[in-house]
Structure 1
Amino acid sequence: MAKQIQSWKNPAILLMSIGISSIGNFIYLVAINIIIYQLTGSAAAVAGLWIIGPLTNIVTKFWTGSFIDYRSKRKIMMVTYVIRAVFICMIPLVPNMAIIYGILVVLSVANAFFTPSSMTYATIIVPKEKRKRFNSIRSFATSGAFIVGPAFGGSLILLTSVETTLWINALFFVISAGCLLLLPEKEKIDKDTIPSLT
């Protein structure tokens, strides 16, 4: 039994990291929709928020794969968590919509790097015989975040403010990055084989 529990230690930490960040993603979506509508009073401006993510994904998918292949997936995940935490903290402080949209582009790019990195790192850290159960738990956690995130975000906005909710939300990504510090690297990257980005 003890050996079985020990074998699930790293997958459980990874699931915790992904689950916490998934809740953070949905809290952020609730808060950013409200803050944009408060700033502009325009439904079109809110619609623009939902266009930025897919457009950014289309552009970045052409080169994120080759970048990720030659670099530490764990470090990429940690960097994207920190980037999201920092830029989400900045949203309540910026003066206009143009800068907010710029921040949203950065957040979308970070997410475009995170998703394939997390999937690849999961195959590295999770033994083959445990992947089916891991993936089912991961799907459950992501689906659960869809319910828990907006509910928690709405409660925070009701009890505090949109700005405070975004700052608290940033902590979710910091905690997720901290969880990854507990996981091993398990990748040997030969820096001489990394191709130039230009």
Structure 2
Amino acid sequence: MKTKLANWKEPVLLLTSVGIAGIGDFIYLVAINILVFQMTGSAAAVAGLWIIGPAVNILTKFWTGSFIDYRSKRKIMIVTYLARAFFIFLIPFAPNIGFVYLILIFLSIAKAFFTPSSTTYITQLIPRHMRKRYNSIQSFTTSGAFIIGPAIGGTLILMSSVATTLFHGRFYPLHSDLRF
């Protein structure tokens, strides 16, 4: 029994960090949508937010995999996550919507490197016999973050401001799986 629990030490840390980071991502998502709407008053500008990520993915994902294959997944995860935190930190200081979109392009590029790196890293970290259970728990964690994150984001916006929410949403959930 103790060996089964000991085998779950790293996966539990990883699941916890994925859950906390997911909450932070959804807090950020709520805040950035409201910030862009406040800056422009345009629903089309908010829709532009949703176009940037897929467009950047189309332009970058076909070559990020080959870049990631020959480098340390852990280092790529650390660098890109810190880069994402830095760029989110810059958003409240953007003077206009053009700079916000530019920052979002850099965020999407960093995420295009982070996501495949983390998927590969998780596959290397979690033994084959634990993957089904791990994946089901991770799916539950992601779904929970989808509910909890926007609720926290909305509450933070009501209690403070969008800029403050962006700071809390990004720096509160530092990815603890980067310690492995």
TM-score, normalising length: structure 1: 0.87
Contact 2:18 2:177 in 1 (8 A): no
In 1, Cα distance between equivalents of 2:16 and 2:46: 31
Residue in 2 aligned with 1:187?
none
The alignment of Structure 1 onto Structure 2 pairs a total of residues equal to 180
Residue in 1 aligned with 2:178?
180
1:133 is aligned with what amino acid?
R
In 2, Cα distance between equivalents of 1:78 and 1:138: 20
Matched, 1:125 2:125: yes
**Structure 1 residues 67-78: aligned runs within 5 Å:** 67-78=67-78
Residue in 2 aligned with 1:44?
44
In 2, Cα distance between equivalents of 1:43 and 1:169: 23
Could you say what secondary structure the match of 1:167 adopts? helix
1:151 is aligned with what amino acid?
A
1:3 is aligned with what amino acid?
T
Contact 1:156 1:165 in 2 (8 A): yes
Residues 150-183 of structure 1, C-alpha deviations (whole Å, 9 max, x = no match): 111001111111000001112135x21x4422x1
2:107 is aligned with what amino acid?
L
Residue in 1 aligned with 2:171?
171
How many Å apart are 1:26 and its aligned residue? 0.9
Residue in 1 aligned with 2:4?
4
Q: Percent identity?
A: 62
2:27 is aligned with what amino acid?
I
Contact 1:88 1:166 in 2 (8 A): yes
How many Å apart are 1:2 and its aligned residue? 2.2
How many Å apart are 1:106 and its aligned residue? 0.8
Root mean square deviation of aligned Cα? 1.1
**Structure 1 residues 120-159: aligned runs within 5 Å:** 120-159=120-159
Residues 57-80 of structure 1, C-alpha deviations (whole Å, 9 max, x = no match): 111111110011111111111112
Residue in 2 aligned with 1:22?
22
TM-score, normalising length: structure 2: 0.96
Contact 1:86 1:170 in 2 (8 A): no
In 2, Cα distance between equivalents of 1:28 and 1:160: 14
Structure 1 spans left out of the alignment, 5+ residues: 184-198
Residue in 2 aligned with 1:116?
116
Contact 1:23 1:146 in 2 (8 A): yes
- Structure 1 segments, 4+ long, off by >6 Å, are none
Structure 2 spans left out of the alignment, 5+ residues: none
In 1, Cα distance between equivalents of 2:79 and 2:17: 13
Could you say what secondary structure the match of 1:95 adopts? coil
In 1, Cα distance between equivalents of 2:5 and 2:78: 25
In 1, Cα distance between equivalents of 2:30 and 2:85: 16
Could you say what secondary structure the match of 2:95 adopts? coil
